Structure 1
Amino acid sequence: MRIEFYVLSSASPADRLRAACQLAAKGWRHGLPVLMRCADAAQRDELDQLLWRFRAESFIPHGLIEDDPDGPVVLALDEAPTVQQGLLINLASSLSPHIEHFSRIIEIVNQEPALLAACRENFRTYRQRGYDPKRVEL
């Protein structure tokens, strides 16, 4: 399993969601099923709206897990994915309870102190579980 922590230089939650949209589009274009795990329903709704208007020249097909669990880009909270071996973009501050279902995991880190601390803990937890997470500067 490939695990990467994409590190943003800003503390802006909006920058973090835009990065998530870019990564979801890239994963989808490469043929991976994408599950975007949101921190809460408000973030999921915001991301849903952002994906509709993210790029004027291209549409990112997406939906909520309860509406289209097998869609190309699925927005969820803690629901289990129905598709195996896809890409998880984790926007929650904790590890997904379903990490074994994915072939690739991306955690997006910004410079907001509480999120930074949570992501550092996630990095340690992945290592303790025998994974080799990588850091990627954006």
Structure 2
Amino acid sequence: MAEVLFYHLESRPLEAVLPLLLEKTLERGWRAVVEVGSRERAEAIDSQLWTFRDDSFLPHGLAGDDTDADQPVLITTGEENPNGATVRFFADRAVPQSGEGYTRLVYLFSGHDPDAVAEARIAYRTLRDAGNQVTYWQQDDAGRWIDRTRQ
């Protein structure tokens, strides 16, 4: 079973949170896949990851190239895992259905989107009831993460 982390974004947007989580993932020696809801959003995240901070380099690519298997971080709109990632991120309304094949799933959703919150609640229950270790993290007003896991 996978460890599943739900991140309820409120005070900081995806563009500020995702690069930091990906950096931590790479620091641990893990590969990651980032699944998003559309090709346009994948391209926007790709662009943002190249420029999110002047003093950082976050190696990544968009799925669909000959180099997919070599990418430490791969951005996709599909369910594939061509880079052999052990961590899968879900953002922009991509919703995890199963933790199978991964050590960790990270589900990021906007607290300002009622539909995304409703989808997250369903996914939380489904993944928890399937036996995955599930935690729920919510931002406080300063952007710090507070563990709000309900047992």
Mark yes or no: TM-score above 0.5: yes
CA distance in 2, matches of 1:64, 1:133: 28
Deviations 1:7-63 (A, max 9, x none): 2224x7xx1232112111211122110110011111101100100101110110000
Contact conserved, 2:72 with 2:83, CA < 8 A, in 1?
A: no
Contact conserved, 2:96 with 2:107, CA < 8 A, in 1?
A: no
Query: Which residue is 2:48 aligned to?
Result: 50
Contact conserved, 1:6 with 1:107, CA < 8 A, in 2?
A: yes
The Cα shift of 1:96 comes to 4.8
Using the TM superposition, name which of 124-133 and 41-50 deviates more: 124-133
CA distance in 1, matches of 2:97, 2:75: 13
Contact conserved, 1:38 with 1:76, CA < 8 A, in 2?
A: yes
Greater Cα radius of gyration, structure 1 or 2: 2
TM-score w.r.t. length of structure 2: 0.80
Identity within the alignment, % = 23
Q: 1:30 aligns with which of 28, 31, 47?
A: 28
Give the RMSD, CA atoms, in angstroms.
Answer: 1.8
Query: Which residue is 1:108 aligned to?
Result: 108
Contact conserved, 2:74 with 2:83, CA < 8 A, in 1?
A: no
The Cα shift of 1:85 comes to 5.5
SS of 1:59 mapped into structure 2: coil
Query: Which residue is 1:128 aligned to?
Result: 129
- Structure 1: runs of 5 or more not aligned: none
Q: Which amino acid aligns with 1:126?
A: L
Q: 1:61 aligns with which of 43, 59, 76?
A: 59
TM-score w.r.t. length of structure 1: 0.87
CA distance in 2, matches of 1:48, 1:85: 17
Q: Which amino acid aligns with 2:118?
A: A
SS of 1:102 mapped into structure 2: coil
Q: Which has the higher helix share?
A: 1
Q: How many residues are treated as equivalent by the alignment? A: 134
Q: Which 4+ runs in 1 deviate beyond 3 A? A: none
Query: Which residue is 2:148 aligned to?
Result: none
Contact conserved, 2:33 with 2:85, CA < 8 A, in 1?
A: no
